[in-house]
Structure 1
Amino acid sequence: MNLPDHLLKTLAGWLSAPRWTIALSGGLDSTVLLHLLAALAKEHGLPPLRAIHVHHGLQPAADAWPGHCQRVCDAYGVPLEVLKVEVPAHASPEQAARRARHCALAQRLEPGEVLLLAHHRDDQAETVLYRLLRGAGVHGLAAMPACRRAGAGWLVRPLLAVGRATLQAYASNQRLHWVEDPSNARSEADRNYLRHQVLPALQARWPHAPASLARAAGHCAEAQALLGDLAAADLAQPPAALPWLPLPSLALAPLLGLSPARQRNALRHFLAPLTRLPDTEHWHGWDNLRDARLAGEPCWRLADGELRRAGGRLWWLSGAWLQLWPTQPVPWPQPGTPLQLPGNGHVWLQAPVPGQLHIGYRQGGERLRIPGRGQRDLKRWMQEQGVPVFLRGRLPLLFAGGELLAVAQFPLAAGENPPLCWAVPTNEQRLR
């Protein structure tokens, strides 16, 4: 394989990017990628190059790696940025370090920028085996994608079709120098065990095992894309009844018309940008939520939030929506200006309202005067308006003295604007 030609062909679709950034660990793979791109940049019109080294300091040897990376980048005329990250305590230090590294890199990308990672075909084969042994489904067995969104830019792996032996031969031929992570030589970690014990044994019997495993990952990625298309079709729904409520939600009835397998596929597609997905054992939570009686407020708790069932819909709640907020009355001394509500966004008036105003929350027993209909019990009125149960206690209420005048976001009569407007708290999401 001609590595420079392969790299140019693989990255041809990214030539219009504003910049290419190489994730440089200082090891063999990323050193080869940096050398290739630095050489190609002298002969071809590539985007500007830079490198980023993430220093997580998990072992003493790592303290010398930023200096090594700096010397290599200086020799090639490529600017280097060193990022120091804290790796939180985790059951798997390798997984925690990988997440911290990817998060730090993604945060440094500008719009449209391409982050280049040097994962190769043997890495892909190792990932397939690792996930297969963990009982992964089609999505997991698709292993590492060749490209995906990352922060404001893109993450691209241009060497996934290249074997480690090819990279090793190139590095030896070019007399490159790289660092060796001493932890990679130990087989205690699962991935290292696969790399040093399992994959060599497989190759001794089936020499093309890494290529076959990587090819299987490609088949799974294609199958996952088809499942994504099916999920998108199954999730095509009319807009929610409360368009001002910026929470991800789904109508329940269309899901109930699908087979259980298609329900789970659609929900995976819906939940993937919102939370870490549950493993097989925890999917019974969906069955419980789907089949629950509506006397209470059915809920399925997931890693990064909750899926609630209310008003014939499934609602995703996270961040501020799962936190308690002060519910005592908030005086409004200057109704002509917006009023900040502790832990609950802010409100403003569409038109002047006389009297000493304050914002309160539902306590029970409130009555609302509706023009032409007299007074209505607030609880029943909210049920008629289709207000989800989880929202009823959070809706700001406008009072003058002891009289309830308005409910945030709802007009008192058809064709009118709501007297009280509410900037709803954000449903905090993390990048996935």
Structure 2
Amino acid sequence: MLQQHFQAEIAQLPATQHQFLIGFSGGLDSTALLLLFAKLREKQPHLQLRAIHIHHGLSANADAWVTHCQQICQQVAIPLIVEQVKIEQHKGIEAGAREARYQAIRNHLLPNEMFATAHHQQDQTETFFLALKRGSGLAGLGAMQRESTVYCLPLCRPLLTFTRQMLLNYVNQAGFPWVEDESNTDSRYERNFLRHEILPRLRQRWPHFDDAVQRSAQHCFEQQQLLNELLQPEFAQHVDKAEHTFQLNDFVLLSPLKQRALLRLWLGQCGLPMPSKVQLCQLIQDVIFAKSDSQPQFQLGEHYVRRYQDKLYLTPHFADLSSLRLPIQIGETLTLPDHLGTLTLQQHAEQLHITWAHPQHTLTSLLPLTEERIEVRFRYSGKVRLSPTQANQDIKKLWQQHGVPVWLRQRIPLIFYADEFKSAVGYFNAL
């Protein structure tokens, strides 16, 4: 009966979805998920299954859990990936472990694979309460869905309608062991506090409490989807999906409610966690309504929202490259700092051909050959003369003419012959 229920849940996914990477901790829930997938494959041999175990290194038993998972996967003939991660504990153990875990999974997920997790009905209740504790809106209270995207990963949760007791009975009947993570009993962690100290009393008073929470979460999700649908015409007017930018034309004419809703949609589309109402109001005040000649920015997690020429941009944190001076010779390829790609200098006839291969574009410049030393820098604040018939111009004006946002101007490689500025690669050359 449980197997049929599971098959029905998998059937709700896209018909082309046949490849799954199963999150396998070795605990009860993920063991049930692994066994259900293995059994389903007997009826559907086209299914391609792999499992991944994340070794967090937080428990003295972690190595033993790896051995256990390897043995279980060998029994059910599902290949297992074991990935050991390093947790940045300054982010908090729970948040750091979650981020490290999803980064490892993202590194292994194949193009047509979907990551499958073992979240069940009681997990859904806990997620709803944690969202409630944070003061989340409809999107947060919508909790978990059967299919979603998390940390840019396509993810499915085929056990959301299963109770933990159902999974316990299934694994016991199958005769498979599982491991118990001792940290799951530590009520210092928020989820464990709910699981062991709060929710049992609510379930004792109201036996169908989890069912009710699941219905409420689904209502919230559907209301959020309806809101998104109603906002789509205006959202399309303000958002450039290719550039991930937000156009601010006529933004001031919208009601504060619609302003915040559109911004949340944009941030959600960009994969950022939802800001609080206070953060969102501060973003609107400090960035969107800042003076037109200012260079406002607002930090959201590890990203920054910046404004330039009536557009909002979302950027990561950038390293300060202003003092760098990188020598380069003709025929050499230089790896640029801070993920800016490579710069190659080649001689073509009587010219120097410069190629900047950035992860998002390739730009070129041509310069006269020189015997002077050549340097790559990222900052120049002087005058530039583009042709014999033009007057010197401040480089700031040239950046403005090319529509280059302020924060990107110190991320474009500048070519110097000795100490003389010669080129902003791909944009303009000086005499």
TM score, norm. by length of structure 2: 0.80
Change (3 A) 1:119 1:57: same
Residues 370 and 249 of structure 1, relative CA distance in 2, 3 Å threshold: farther
In the alignment, does 2:269 pair up with 1:278? no
For 2:103 and 2:399, the matched residues in 1 are separated by 42
Question: CA shift at 1:67, angstroms?
Answer: 1.4
Deviation of 1:380 (Å): 4.7
Structure 1 residues 419 and 160, CA, compared in 2 at 3 Å: closer, same or farther? same
- Cα distance, 1:68 vs. partner? 1.4
Residue identity matched to 1:314: L
Alpha-carbon contact 2:415-2:424 (below 8 Å) kept: yes
CA distance in 2, matches of 1:189, 1:329: 48
Q: Is 2:4 the partner of 1:5?
A: yes
CA drift of 1:184 comes to 1.5
C-alpha distance 69-404 of structure 1, shift in aligned 2 (>3 A):
closer
State which drifts further: 291-300 or 331-340. 331-340
Structure (1 or 2) with the greater strand fraction: 2
Which secondary structure state, in structure 2, belongs to the residue aligned with residue 45 of structure 1?
Answer: coil
Shift, 1:362, TM fit: 4.2
What secondary structure does 2:171 align onto? helix
Letter in 2 for 1:11: I
* 8 Å Cα contact 1:253/1:312 also seen in 2: yes
Q: State the identity as a percent.
A: 33
**Superposition deviation, residue 95 in structure 1:** 2.8
Q: Per chain length, whose mean CA-contact separation is higher, i.e. which structure has more relative contact order (CA < 8 Å, sep 6+)?
A: 1
SS, match of residue 236 in structure 2: coil
CA spacing shift, 1:24–1:317, aligned 2, 3 Å: closer
Aligned ranges 1:3-402 → 2 under 5 Å: 3-12=2-11, 13-14=13-14, 16-17=16-17, 19-90=19-90, 92-149=92-149, 154-230=154-230, 232-237=232-237, 248-272=244-268, 273=270, 275-283=272-280, 284-320=282-318, 322-326=319-323, 334=347, 335-338=351-354, 348-349=364-365, 362-369=380-387, 374-375=390-391, 377-378=393-394, 379-380=396-397, 383=400, 386-391=403-408
DSSP 3-state at the match of 1:375: coil
Distance 1:29 1:239 in 2: 40
Q: Distance in 2 between matches of 1:49 and 1:387?
A: 46
Residue identity opposite 2:56 in structure 1: H
CA RMSD of aligned residues (A): 3.7
Structure 1 unaligned blocks of 5 or more: 241-245, 411-417, 421-432
Deviation, 1:8, is 1.0
Q: Work out the CA distance in 2 between the residues paired with 1:303 and 1:95.
A: 12
**Residue 175 of structure 1, CA deviation:** 3.0
Conserved? CA contact 1:16–1:47, under 8 Å: no
Are the equivalent residues in 1 in contact too, given 2:298–2:306 (CA < 8 A)? yes
Contact 1:15 1:46 in 2 (8 A): no
Q: Which stretch has the larger CA shift, 400-409 or 36-45?
A: 400-409
C-alpha distance in structure 2 between counterparts of 1:134 and 1:339, whole Å: 48
- Give the deviation of 1:29 after TM superposition: 0.9
- 3-state SS of 1:285 partner: helix
Counterpart secondary structure, 2:78: coil
Secondary structure of 1:337's counterpart equals strand
Work out the CA distance in 2 between the residues paired with 1:141 and 1:85: 30
Provide the aligned length of Structure 1 versus Structure 2: 404
Counterpart CA distance in 1 for 2:80 and 2:301 is 36
> Cα distance 1:19–1:402, how it changes in 2: closer, same or farther (>3 A)?
closer
- The separation in 1 between residues aligned to 2:177 and 2:277, in whole angstroms, is 44
Query: Offset at 1:47?
Result: 0.9
Aligned partner of 1:364: which letter? G
Counterpart Cα distance in 2 of 1:44 and 1:173: 22
Report if aligned partners of 1:338, 1:348 keep a CA contact under 8 Å in 2.
Answer: yes
Comparing 224-233 with 187-196, which one deviates more in the overlay?
224-233
Q: TM-score of the superposition, structure 1-length normalised?
A: 0.79
Q: Distance in 2 between matches of 1:347 and 1:38?
A: 50
